[in-house]
Structure 1
Amino acid sequence: MPSNIIGTNGITRDARSRYRQRAEGGAHGAFEAETKRAGGTPRAEVEVLRGTAPAEIATILGDDASDAVVIRQRRMYNGERLVQLADTYIPAFVAEAAPAVAQLDTGEGGIISRMADAGLSQTDVVEDVTQVPATADQAAALGVDDGELLLTITHTGRTESGQVVEVTRHVLGRGWTLRYGVPLA
């Protein structure tokens, strides 16, 4: 069974494999790899800046949010259709150890691979999925009604020692299916 399906009904985001196969076929991250695998045409518009994380994200980052963080703001498309807004917050110590995370093009495997190259492998990932009302900006970008409930995934990546090295807030447009697997044995 394919790990991601793009069809007329939408996109399936499969957490069972997306982080292990993020560099498949030379892809520059999980979204690109899974979209290509499903026959889609991924592209992203990326802006990188330094700034302060919003309060909710700063709480997750903990002490590492006291410095300016690297913020990667992405608009992610399948073909010409905007399907996701994703903002990633990276602590300053990570950007110092893995400077490529602050580049527009982070290379094969994306930022998670650049962190691993610098000895900051994510070994624990937690993703909280909620529904939040679309802001006016999100609604305009994603073609939904202002206040419409959107799926939001807050991805927190930690190293083996428990350091938070990334928090990404994914806001998904209409038509997504989230697939998770739970090992029973």
Structure 2
Amino acid sequence: MPSNIIGAEGIIRDARSRYRQRAEGGAHGAFEAETKRAGQTPRAEVEVSRGSAPDEIAPLLGGQSTEGVVIRKRRMYVGERLVQLADTYIPESVAEAAPAVSQLDSGEGGIISRMAEAGFAQATVVEDVTQVHASADQAAALGVSEGEALLAITHVGQTDNGQVVEVTQHVLGPGWTLRYGVPLD
């Protein structure tokens, strides 16, 4: 079964394979690889800055400094349709060791690959999926009504020794299905 299908039924985000196949075909991350695999055209608008992590992100950074984090704000499109807003917060120590995460184009495989090359491979990913009410900015960007319920994913990536190397908040536009698989052995 394809890991991401975009069509009349919407977009399927398949966590069973997305992190292992993020560089497939030269893609610059999981979203690009999944979208291309589905025969669609991905595009992302990226802004990179340094700042402080918001109050809801700070505790997820695992006690690391929340000042001076690298912030990657992405608007992710399928064709011309904006389908996702994704804000990533990277601790300064990780960004210093993997400077490409601070670039607009982080290269093949995206920031997760750059972190791994610098010794910060993500061994554990925890994703909390919740419903949020669209803010005025999110509603305007995603073409929904303010207050409309949207799916949000808070992704926390950790190394094998438990160091948090990124926290990403994804806000998904209408039409997404999230697919997860759990080994039963």
Normalising by structure 2, what TM-score?
0.99
Structure 1: state its 5+ residue gaps.
none
Equivalent residues of 1:64, 1:92 under 8 A apart:
no
Structure 1 segment 1-185 matched on structure 2, within 5 A: 1-185=1-185
Equivalent residues of 2:53, 2:67 under 8 A apart:
no
- Give the aligned CA root-mean-square deviation in angstroms: 0.7
Shift of 1:56: 1.0
Q: Distance in 1 between matches of 2:64 and 2:70?
A: 11
Equivalent residues of 2:53, 2:66 under 8 A apart:
no
> Which consecutive segments of 4 or more residues in structure 1 shift more than 3 A?
none
Normalising by structure 1, what TM-score?
0.99
Shift of 1:66: 3.5
Give the % identical residues: 79
Q: Distance in 1 between matches of 2:89 and 2:141?
A: 21
Structure 2: state its 5+ residue gaps.
none
Q: Distance in 2 between matches of 1:48 and 1:8?
A: 33
What is the identity, as a one-letter code, of the residue corresponding to 2:126? V
Decide which moves more: 61-70 or 46-55.
61-70
Q: Distance in 2 between matches of 1:52 and 1:9?
A: 38
What is the identity, as a one-letter code, of the residue corresponding to 2:181? G
Could you say what secondary structure the match of 1:101 adopts?
A: helix
